[in-house]
Amino acid sequence: MTRPQSKSSPPESSPLSELCSALPSLPMRLREVGRFVAANDYDATTRSMRDLAAAAGADPASFTRLAKALGYSGWDELRAALTEARRPAQTAPFSGRTKGRRPGPNSDVMLVADKLESEAAGLGRISTGAVAGAAKTLHAARRIWIAGFRSCRSVAELLNYQLRLFRPDAVQLVGGSGPEDLDLGAFRAGDAVIVIGFAPYSAASVSSARAAHRSGAALIAIADTIAAPMAEGADHVLLFEAAASPGFFPSLTGAIAIAQSLAAVTFVLGGAGAKRRLEETEARLAALSQYVAERD
C-alpha cells in the first residue's frame, strides 16, 4: 500500500502524520473522529473501537470509515500501525549522534563551518506562510500560553518575553509560576497554546498539547516533524530542522527563528495598540533603570 509523504516528513511517514495531513480533506464527521484519534492516540491503541466511539460521541463504524479514508483496510490495520509507531525511540538520542574527531589540523574549524552551513540551510526551509498564519491565530487569541520544557524552555522563555513586551496581560509561560498542571487546567476555548519540542519529546509537552485539545484552544506546534506527538491534530505545525545539524545535540536555531518571527508578525498585526503598549513597557523599563546608559 503506497502512502503519501510530506516534504518535511521523515523517510517513512507515520500513521499520525498521514492522519494530520488528511484532516482538511475529510468530511466534517470523519474530521471530528480523526481529531479525536490524533488527540488520544494512546487510547486508540489500547481501547476497543466501541469504547472509543462512546468517548468520542461517534458511531463505531466511523472509525472504520476513517481508516479506509486513510488507505487502510479497516480500523484494526490502522490501530496496528498506531501501535507500531508508539514503540520507544532510541535510548541514546544525544550520545548516539556523536562521531569521532576528523583527522587533520583544521578538523575543529571544519566542524564549525559545517554546523553553520547546516543551520543556515535549515532556516531557509522554514515555511514563512505557515509562521505568518500561526501569528494571525496568536493575534486573535484572548490569551496565549507557551509550553516548552527541558532544552526547549529557553525558546519558550524567549517567545514569552517578546510577546509580553506588548501583550503583558495576555501571555503566560506554562509552569512559569507553579506546577504546570494548574496551567493546563486553565486553558480555554479562544486561547492559543504554543508547544515546542523535538525528539526525544518530553512527556510534559505532549500533556500540554492534549490539554489544549480538550479545552478547545488553538494549538500551535513548533516541532521537528509533523509526526511529533505534541503536533498531533495541531491547528498550525511550524517545522524546524533539529537533527540535520552536526554535533552531539540537535539544533534549536530554527525553533528560535520561528519564535522570534511569531513575535514580530504578531506585533505588526497588533497595529497602533501594540506599539502603544510596547512604548509603555519601554518607559517602565527606563524608569526602573533596567539598562546601562549608553555613553556619548
> What are the grid coordinates assigned to 93, written together?
538520542
Q: Return the closest-CA partner of residue 131 out of 243, 228, 260, 238.
A: 238
Around Cβ 93, how many Cβ atoms within 10 Å?
Answer: 15
pLDDT at 149 over 70: yes
DSSP 139-193: HH-SSEEEEE-GGGHHHHHHHHHHHHTT-TTTEEETTSSS-HHHHHTT--TT-EE
Helix axes 253-269, 107-124, angle to 10 degrees: 30
Phi, psi torsion values for 142, nearest 5 degrees = -70, -45
Give the number of residues written for the chain.
296
98-135 tens-digit pLDDT: 566 667 777 778 778 877 888 888 888 899 999 999 99
Q: What is the pLDDT of residue 274?
A: 94
pLDDT at 140 over 90: yes
CB neighbour list of residue 235: distance below 8 Å, 6 or more residues apart: 137, 218, 219, 220
pLDDT at 190 over 90: yes
The residue with greater pLDDT, 229 or 43, is 229
| Least confident segment among 12-21, 75-84, 149-158, 235-244 | 12-21
My answer on whether omega of the bond before 200 falls inside 30° of 0, hence cis, is: yes
Percent of the chain with pLDDT over 90: 45
In angstroms, the CA 162 to CA 131 distance is 16
Around Cβ 216, how many Cβ atoms within 10 Å?
Answer: 11
Q: What is the pLDDT of residue 52?
A: 87
Q: What is the pLDDT of residue 296?
A: 60
Q: In this structure, are residues 46 and 39 in contact, taking their beta carbons and an 8 Å threshold?
A: no
Q: In this structure, are residues 17 and 6 in contact, taking their beta carbons and an 8 Å threshold?
A: yes
CB neighbour list of residue 22: distance below 8 Å, 6 or more residues apart: 34, 69, 70
Residue whose cell numbers read 519540542: 197
pLDDT at 38 over 70: yes
In angstroms, the CA 8 to CA 243 distance is 12
Phi, psi torsion values for 193, nearest 5 degrees = -120, 120
pLDDT at 267 over 80: yes
